[in-house]
Structure 1
Amino acid sequence: MDTQTPFLIVDDDELFRQVMTRAMKRRGFEVLAAADHEEAMMLARATPPVYATLDLKLEHSSGLQLLPELLAVSPKCKVIILTGYSSITTAVEAMKLGAYNYLCKPVDADDVLGALDRPAQGDPDAEIAENPPSINRLTWEHIQKVLQENDGNISATARSLGMHRRTLQRKLQKRPVRR
């Protein structure tokens, strides 16, 4: 992997962004760090990145919304979506939108660089889980899918799911259930 190449880090968690920035600078990258969608695009237009990590859940946007715009500015950029709120739906959407990989937080610089080094074709020897996902996990994933279909609109998603908006908001505030 080349160093002294632009590496864009987009995350609204200031501490995570600072730690990742320092780690990538120590590895020789020219780091561009942004807290939000607008700042990320301003940096990317000025210096198109070769590599990028995008947080899935930004304060006023999402990594999925930012991804196509970033790839329009830097089409060969290898982008990894990072999230603490992983779901099959968002992983599939990220890959459809052009992400190179999708990682669940917590991650460190070595995890990110390892994901960038792996071939994009996939691993036919990937581990297959022995236990199927729990009902709670399937419910979480279904809510995420419907939320994505409704472009993040909580009220429309609640109507689609036949539940009260406040109930849906409470469910979304909880961490994703374990498999």
Structure 2
Amino acid sequence: MSEPDIPPVKRLVIVEDDETFARTLKRSFERRGYAVRLAASHEDLVVLLADDVPQYAVVDLKLGGASGLVCVQTLHAHDPDILVVVLTGFASIATAVEAIKLGASHYLVKPSNTDDIEAAFDRTEGKVDTAVTERRATIKTLEWERIHATLAETGFNISETARQLGMHRRTLARKLEKRPVK
């Protein structure tokens, strides 16, 4: 009598500081057959990686006052084969480029659901037939991208970013709370 083929468990870590969102995402992935562990910070992730090597990771770009990019870097350094998807409500070209450079395989804007994330895990190669648009960026979009480029350069230090951009820290904080105009 032969043993039935049992598919290997897909191990996933979710690095997310929003506890409710993290639990919801965890339950959704568990229903799809993933073994899920949660980390709310870079420190939690380091502890988790000491005894587990996930195959997949979902990392929030903004973890409280810290950047999730350091988590992407840590995951990639731990195992370059981990498929990392970065989720963000603060999308910018600068942070997308940095996430990919640091080892992320995909970058998704919130709200993204489990289907979107799982599809991103499956898409490990770029698509050459992606449409290139001729739309020019608005001044607000250019400002948004410049702010995020400077944020990435300063390691997401709000005070240093405000200083480099020549604006008050509170003004920068207000601008970061707004969504980019499309």
Name the TM-score, length of structure 2 as normaliser.
Answer: 0.90
Question: Counterpart in 2 of 1:141?
Answer: 145
What is the aligned-residue RMSD (CA, Å)? 1.6
Does residue 166 (structure 1) correspond to residue 170 (structure 2)? The answer is yes
Question: Counterpart in 2 of 1:127?
Answer: 131
Which residue type is aligned with residue 47 of structure 1? D
Question: Counterpart in 1 of 2:120?
Answer: 115
Question: Counterpart in 1 of 2:51?
Answer: 46
- 1:1-80 equivalent positions in 2, closer than 5 A: 3-80=8-85
Does the 8 Å contact 1:3/1:29 carry over to 2?
no
Name the TM-score, length of structure 1 as normaliser.
Answer: 0.91
Question: Counterpart in 1 of 2:181?
Answer: 178
- Per mean C-alpha deviation after superposition, the further-off stretch among 6-15 and 153-162 is 153-162
Q: 1:131 to 1:3 in 2, by over 3 A?
A: farther
Answer with 1 or 2: which has the greater Rg. 2
Taking the aligned partners of 1:20 and 1:54, their CA distance within structure 2 comes to: 12
Question: Counterpart in 1 of 2:96?
Answer: 91
Which residue type is aligned with residue 133 of structure 1? A
Q: 1:153 to 1:62 in 2, by over 3 A?
A: closer
- Superposition deviation, residue 132 in structure 1: 2.2
Q: 1:60 to 1:165 in 2, by over 3 A?
A: closer
Which residue type is aligned with residue 99 of structure 2? A
Gaps of 5+ in 2: 1-6
- Map Cα deviations across residues 9-42 of structure 1 (whole Å, 9 max, x no partner): 1111112111111111111111111222111221
Taking the aligned partners of 2:140 and 2:48, their CA distance within structure 1 comes to: 40
Taking the aligned partners of 2:109 and 2:42, their CA distance within structure 1 comes to: 20
